[in-house]
Amino acid sequence: MLAMNYRGPYRVRAEQKSAPYIEHPGDAIIRVNRACICGSDLHLYHGLVPDTRVGTTFGHEFTGVVEEIGSEVQNLKVGDQVLVPFNVFCGSCYFCQRELYSNCHSVNPEASAIGGIYGYSHSTGGYDGGQAEYVRVPMADVGPTVIPADLDLDDAVLLTDASPTGYQAAEMGDIREGETVVVFGAGPVGIFAAKSAWLLGAGRVIVVDHVDYRLEFVKNFAQCEIVNFKEVKDMAVHIKKMTDWMGADVCIDAVGCEAAGNFAQSLTGIKLKLQGGSATVLHRCINTVRKGGKVSIVGVYGPTFNAIPIGNAVNKGLTLRMNQASVKRHLPRLIEHIQAGRIKPSEIITHRMPLEEVADAYHMFSSKLDNCIKTVLVPPRSIASN
């Protein structure tokens, strides 16, 4: 089969690999028809995630058709169109029983701080991802969700990560009616976090980034205010000026370990890798939110150390909440929002490219070329079947 193949930092290509097969009676083999490149994939692409091995296939956002099922699979049948949450989870452990699917205790037993993720290095279990013609999905009775007949595939693929992660970012902010929410990052997750903040009752939404075309996009998509941090001398002071000198009620970190804007953080966290990434946005969230406010973190950071102003958080009495999104928990509500016309996730897709051009797709997204917001890769067998 054709699959994306990681060859080292900034080096990916499409080439032939052995097709996956049923390894356990609970497995399913999915023929992929949509696979996205996520901003988190860029952390792998840039060499910032430990134990990202040569030969790995990335891709934790994908939909497809059930091609084959193991003997114990009961909830799927061959031919079903499914979306597959980026979390690999068992559905029955202590954490899964509490709908904390991203913290599943069974799928990545050697790790103490993270569950399983498709196509996201051996630190998250070593599962190959969906930027390929086929992918093996373990524990297929609990992960994949059959796509409703009235749901567009382009909307469905964004329910595998980006939309639920943005929604959970807003949810973890515990937004009260009328509150001011500041979202740092105008990538796909930040865009969905801004849109979700309105759905959860925000009275004002402000998005911060430094890329003009992304700011313009989120302004139109999420009907929010925008701030270019390159034009701001002190972010905390600027946001206080915008909020009657109180600060935001909720701040959301939708950027993570490659945040720009602070030389020392970028040097130690990205170039020298002395931290688990640049903590610039964490500083901005903690210092920008009001006293007694809430900080929600969905941006990805690497293990194990980051220099953050925890004393400021303590003295301000902040509530900090963070996690990888538990996608399956959010799907019923998000599907309802789509069917009711409140949100159309596929509107953020700016590029569709064949899987054969995966190297160009990564370069374009990484370098922010051609006003790229979100790219969908389409495998050749999917093109042929359409």
Q: Which helix (H) or strand (E) holds 280?
A: helix 280-288
- 87 and 6 co-located in one domain: yes
What integer pLDDT is reported at residue 383 of this predicted model? 59
What integer pLDDT is reported at residue 129 of this predicted model? 98
Rounded Cα distance, 322 and 269, in Å: 20
Q: pTM score, two decimals?
A: 0.95
CATH number at residue 366: 3.90.180.10
Q: Looking at the 3D structure of the chain, how many domains does it have? A: 2
- 175 and 254 co-located in one domain: yes
Strand boundaries in the chain, DSSP class E: 2-8, 11-16, 28-37, 62-69, 81-84, 87-88, 116-117, 134-137, 145-146, 180-184, 204-209, 225-228, 248-253, 289-297, 319-322, 351-354, 375-378
What integer pLDDT is reported at residue 18 of this predicted model? 97
- 180 and 271 co-located in one domain: yes
What integer pLDDT is reported at residue 303 of this predicted model? 77
Do 74 and 57 meet the contact criterion of CB atoms below 8 Å apart?
no
- 156 and 172 co-located in one domain: no
- 151 and 242 co-located in one domain: no
List per-residue pLDDT tens for the chain, 386 residues long.
999 999 999 999 999 999 999 999 999 999 999 999 999 999 999 998 889 999 999 999 999 999 999 999 999 999 999 999 999 999 999 999 999 999 999 999 777 778 999 999 899 999 999 999 999 999 999 999 999 999 999 999 999 999 999 999 999 999 999 999 999 999 999 999 999 999 999 999 999 999 999 999 999 999 999 999 999 999 999 999 999 999 999 999 999 999 999 999 999 998 888 898 999 999 999 999 999 999 999 999 987 788 999 999 999 999 999 999 999 999 999 999 999 999 999 999 999 999 999 999 999 999 999 999 999 999 997 754 55
Count of CB atoms situated within 10 Å of the CB of 307: 16
* SS3 at position 361: helix
- 42 and 125 co-located in one domain: yes
The CA radius of gyration of the chain, in Å to the nearest whole number, is: 20
Torsion of CA 372, 378, 379, 381, to 10 degrees: -160
- 171 and 27 co-located in one domain: no
How many Å is the maximal CA-CA distance in the chain?
Answer: 62
Under DSSP, the state recorded for 231 is: G
- Whose tokens are 């509490």? That residue is 98
Residues contacting 27, CB < 8 A, separation 6+ = 69, 70, 73, 136, 137, 138, 140
- 6 and 142 co-located in one domain: yes
- 190 and 311 co-located in one domain: yes
CATH number at residue 211: 3.40.50.720
Domain edge (last residue) among 322, 341, 364:
322
What integer pLDDT is reported at residue 157 of this predicted model? 98
- 204 and 310 co-located in one domain: yes
Point out which residues pair with 31 in neighbouring strands. 65, 134
Q: Write out the residue range of the structural domain in which residue 57 sits.
A: 2-161+326-385
Count of CB atoms situated within 10 Å of the CB of 83: 25
